[in-house]
C-alpha cells in the first residue's frame, strides 16, 4: 500500500501524576485499481475509444484518469479516443489517481492491421495502333500514411509499373500505354 492517513485522533488520559495514554485511529488507504479495457485489434484508419469505467477505488470515486499513448501524448478523463492510421502495435497506458494521491496503471496494446488498397476507378482507353495511350486509375487506402506501388497486367503476360501520385486520400496511378484488367492486393495496386 502506498498511501495512508489519520482518520481520527482521540485520547484518554491517565490519572493524576501517572502515565498518559493517547490513541490514534488510522485508516490505511487502499490503492486504486486501473483498468483500461481489453487489448484491441482494429483495421488501420480506425478510431479507437477507450473507457476506464472498470477502474475503481475502495474509499471514494477516483480523483483523476490519464491516458498515455505511444507517441508520448496524454489525454485526461474517464474516456479517450485515438486515430490509428498506420499498422503496428501501440501501447496505451491508463493511470488513475485516488483521493489520497495513490496511483495505479494498466497498459493495453492496440494492434492495427494493414488494410489492402481498393481500386476505385479505371476507365477504358481507346488508342491508335502504334501510338501510346495513357491509362489512369485511382485507388483508396485507409492507411493514409502507407506508401504504394502499382503494376498493370496487360493480359498478354506483359506488365508495366505505374506511377502513383496525388493526395493520400485519393491517389492516382498513371501507366505508359495499353489496357489491362484491374485487381488489388496488400499495399500494391495491381491494375
Among 141, 184, 190, 191, binds Ca ion (CB under 5 A): 141
Among 94, 98, 122, 137, binds Ca ion (CB under 5 A): 98
Alpha-carbon distances, residue 139 vs 4, 29, 40, 58, 61 (angstroms): 60, 58, 28, 54, 50
For 76-133, the DSSP string reads ESSEEEEEE-S-EEEEEEEEEE-TTS-EEEEEEEEEEE----EEEEE------TTS--
Minimum CB distance to Ca ion, residue 142 (Å): 7
Q: Is the dihedral of CA 78, 83, 86, 87 positive or negative?
A: positive
Residue 56 near Ca ion by CB under 5 A: no
The region of 9-17, 58-66, 105-113, 161-169 touching Ca ion under the rule CB under 5 A is 58-66
Question: Which CB atom, from 66 or from 98, has the smaller least distance to Ca ion?
Answer: 98
Residue 29 near Ca ion by CB under 5 A: yes
Q: Residues 84, 48: contact at Cβ < 8 Å?
A: yes
Among 82, 122, 143, 175, binds Ca ion (CB under 5 A): 143
User: Whose CB is nearest to Ca ion?
Assistant: 143
User: Which residues would be at the binding site for Ca ion (CB under 5 A)?
Assistant: 29-30, 57, 59, 98, 114-115, 141, 143, 146, 187
Amino acid at each position: 500500500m502506498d498511501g495512508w492517513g489519520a482518520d481520527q485522533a482521540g485520547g484518554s488520559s491517565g490519572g493524576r501524576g501517572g502515565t498518559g495514554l493517547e490513541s490514534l485511529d488510522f485508516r490505511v488507504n487502499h490503492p486504486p485499481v486501473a483498468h483500461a479495457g481489453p487489448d484491441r485489434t482494429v483495421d488501420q484508419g480506425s478510431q479507437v475509444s477507450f473507457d476506464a469505467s472498470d477502474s475503481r477505488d475502495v474509499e471514494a470515486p477516483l480523483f483523476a484518469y490519464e491516458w498515455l499513448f505511444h507517441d508520448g501524448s496524454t489525454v485526461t478523463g474517464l474516456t479517450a479516443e485515438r486515430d490509428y492510421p498506420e499498422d503496428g502495435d501501440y501501447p496505451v497506458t491508463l493511470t488513475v489517481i485516488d483521493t489520497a494521491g495513490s496511483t495505479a496503471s494498466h497498459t493495453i496494446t492496440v494492434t492495427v492491421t494493414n488494410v489492402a488498397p481498393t481500386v476505385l476507378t479505371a476507365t477504358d482507353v481507346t488508342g491508335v495502333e502504334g501510338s501510346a495511350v495513357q491509362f489512369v486509375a485511382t485507388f483508396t487506402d485507409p492507411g493514409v500514411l502507407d506508401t504504394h506501388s502499382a503494376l498493370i497486367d496487360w493480359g498478354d503476360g506483359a506488365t508495366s509499373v505505374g506511377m502513383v501520385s496525388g493526395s493520400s486520400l485519393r491517389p492516382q496511378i498513371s501507366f505508359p500505354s495499353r489496357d489491362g484488367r484491374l485487381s488489388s492486393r496488400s499495399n500494391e495496386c495491381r491494375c
